[in-house]
Structure 1
Amino acid sequence: MTSDRSAHIARFGTHGVWAGWDKFSPEQARAIEELGYGTIWLGGSPKHLRPIRKILDATEAITVAAGIVNIWNTDAAVIADEFVELEDDFPGRFYLGIGAGHREAIAGYQKPYTAVNHYLDILDAKKVPTQRRILAALGPRMLRLSADRALGAHPYLTQPTHTALARAELGDGVLLAPEHKVVIDIDPQKARAIGRPPVDQPYLHLTNYVSNLKRLGWADVDIADGGSDALIDALVAHGDAATVRGQVDKHLTAGADHVAIQVLGEGDPVGPLAEIVKAAI
């Protein structure tokens, strides 16, 4: 089991790229693969997996992961069947990320831990392999569940401090793949002007993310009014490409196996992603 899990973790590489599930064009996906990134994360809450096929079709070998399928607006049995379809056509390349979303957006929201377990029970019955599943996880209980019933965890809107705590909770040999936002701009004010809006709306108004930030020591004053400069700087790496790469890689030093980079701002993200790769050479 351990060696099998290790092989799956290795498929992700140390760096990936994250964007909304319908944001990458096939051409951008090919460019990201050619740059050497290990994984393309298709974020948001797609109701079906079939649209992800265009990214798999456009690329040769890069891992593709859903980050994440929302358990409240999808049928687990349907998602399991669609997973099998993708696995038949693209063996070993697709990983199914699932999560409980946000109580503010869901009518009839139940306890997320119980609901995620039930969803996983259906995936088990439909033979979706444990090692091909990843859980959106921030708090200790969901992190432990991701170690017990999935390949590991995909925390969103975090900082290296959280990564260190998550690794301690998960233990070794479990995938830990946080997302981190970046802006390539050496002017801090301009970078914050780009980074603050997508952090503030919606995340600084959602209970699960606010609770996690408070667990990490951030106060109400940091979270209010669009977020303090210190909070935005912690959640959105900015500067030249080398500075951004150094900030992102602190997740790896803190215990992550992989970090999913989300480029913020207008324009094609491939250019900034190429700069980040070159900064490591």
Structure 2
Amino acid sequence: MAIPIGRVGIWSPSYVWNTDDAREAAAEIDALGYGALWLGAAAPDLRLPEDLLAATDRLVLATGIVNVWAADAAELAAGFHRLAKAYPNRFLLGLGVSHAPVVQKLGKAYTRPLNYLAGYLDALDNAPEPVPVDQRVLAALGPKALTLAAQRSAGAHPYLVTPEHTRIARETLGPGPLLVPEQKVVLETDPSTARALARAGVRYYLGLPNYVRNLLALGFTEDDVAGDGSERLVDTLVAWGTPDQIAKRITEHHDAGADHVAVQVVSPAADSTAWTGRPAREEWRALAAALL
């Protein structure tokens, strides 16, 4: 049975949920009507999604993503079933191969990552309690990863992408699989302030080869991806302005073939360099009227 995630959800880094109001914030996302909460860089123990599921009534919790190099497949499968049994049809397991610099810090060689991911899916399929194909999604950017997502999971969760990538991904996936792009947004109408926040939101990712290759494949230049990114790159990757202006970008993804868009608010409340912050509750409220 496919997990019902609706048309729009919230993407939020896991590190902002270590706050006193975390459960209250998750309950508010639920009450506002968002379909899912995607937790970035989710820990393999799945304790955070489990805690937030307990605080909500309807909301789907999804991992976006669990790094397969850092998680034992049998243990992850057992954790998945712990949540799936306690909260039926409300947990979606997002998996991915991460990036060479991240994996190398784990003391592992980042070689043939898609083959490694395919083997990891085999392990999930062969676990004492297998993880159902329709209750897992794969982080995917290029055609080979998208094809694997279509064949071995419910679909794809591309990150740091544009509506044009969503169009290409839908063509690659075909009409059936789930397509869930992440979209960064900044609720700010002043161009210089908005772009400063947007650059803070993309800076880290421009140091990761997988994302850079994908952006170059989409037609951006080496100058676009250098440093903190060109104005053209930032404006294309990060939607900024009023809630209604941001809603237009979300619509572009849907028109290009997205089933669900995971909206990530970039705000001063979160610092990706220090891995600290708080849930962007004010922005989620402001966006709800335009997006839901």
2:286 matched to which residue of 1? Answer: 275
- Secondary structure of the residue aligned to 1:78 is helix
Per the alignment, do residues 45 and 111 of structure 1 end up closer, same or farther by CA in structure 2, a change over 3 Å counting?
farther
Per the alignment, do residues 280 and 104 of structure 1 end up closer, same or farther by CA in structure 2, a change over 3 Å counting?
closer
1:111 matched to which residue of 2? Answer: 112
User: TM-score under structure 2 normalisation?
Assistant: 0.91
Q: Give the whole-Å Cα distance in 2 for the aligned partners of 1:249 and 1:200.
A: 25
2:252 matched to which residue of 1? Answer: 250
Q: Where does structure 1 lack aligned partners over 5 or more consecutive residues?
A: none
2:14 matched to which residue of 1? Answer: 21
Say if 2:202 is the partner of 1:199: yes
Question: What does 1:1-281 align with in structure 2 at a 5 Å threshold?
Answer: 4=1, 8=2, 11-24=4-17, 25-107=22-104, 108-126=109-127, 127-201=130-204, 203-267=205-269, 268-280=279-291
Q: Give the whole-Å Cα distance in 1 for the aligned partners of 2:84 and 2:133.
A: 14
- Secondary structure of the residue aligned to 1:156 is coil
Contact kept, 8 Å, 2:14 with 2:40, in 1: the verdict is yes
Q: Deviations over 1:82-135 (max 9, x none)?
A: 111111211111010000000122221121110000110011012110000100
Q: Deviations over 1:186-235 (max 9, x none)?
A: 1111001111022011x111110000001100000001121001100111
User: TM-score under structure 1 normalisation?
Assistant: 0.94
- Secondary structure of the residue aligned to 1:77 is helix
Tell me the amino acid that sits aligned with residue 106 of structure 1: V
Q: Give the whole-Å Cα distance in 1 for the aligned partners of 2:32 and 2:170.
A: 28
Q: Give the whole-Å Cα distance in 2 for the aligned partners of 1:273 and 1:26.
A: 15
Note the C-alpha offset of 1:280.
4.8
Note the C-alpha offset of 1:247.
1.3
Q: Give the whole-Å Cα distance in 1 for the aligned partners of 2:101 and 2:48.
A: 26
Structure 1 stretches of 4+ with a deviation exceeding 2 A read: 21-24
Q: Give the whole-Å Cα distance in 1 for the aligned partners of 2:36 and 2:48.
A: 17
Q: Give the whole-Å Cα distance in 2 for the aligned partners of 1:193 and 1:67.
A: 25
Q: Give the whole-Å Cα distance in 2 for the aligned partners of 1:191 and 1:219.
A: 22
Size of the aligned set, in residue pairs, is: 273
Q: Deviations over 1:130-172 (max 9, x none)?
A: 0001000000001011010000000000000000000000000
Contact kept, 8 Å, 2:8 with 2:291, in 1: the verdict is no
Contact kept, 8 Å, 1:21 with 1:52, in 2: the verdict is no
Per the alignment, do residues 210 and 280 of structure 1 end up closer, same or farther by CA in structure 2, a change over 3 Å counting?
closer
Q: Give the whole-Å Cα distance in 1 for the aligned partners of 2:123 and 2:114.
A: 15
RMSD of the TM alignment (CA)?
Answer: 1.3
Q: Where does structure 2 lack aligned partners over 5 or more consecutive residues?
A: 270-278
Note the C-alpha offset of 1:55.
0.6
Tell me the amino acid that sits aligned with residue 273 of structure 1: W
Identity of aligned residues (%): 43
Contact kept, 8 Å, 2:197 with 2:268, in 1: the verdict is no
The answer to which of 86-95 and 165-174 deviates more is 86-95
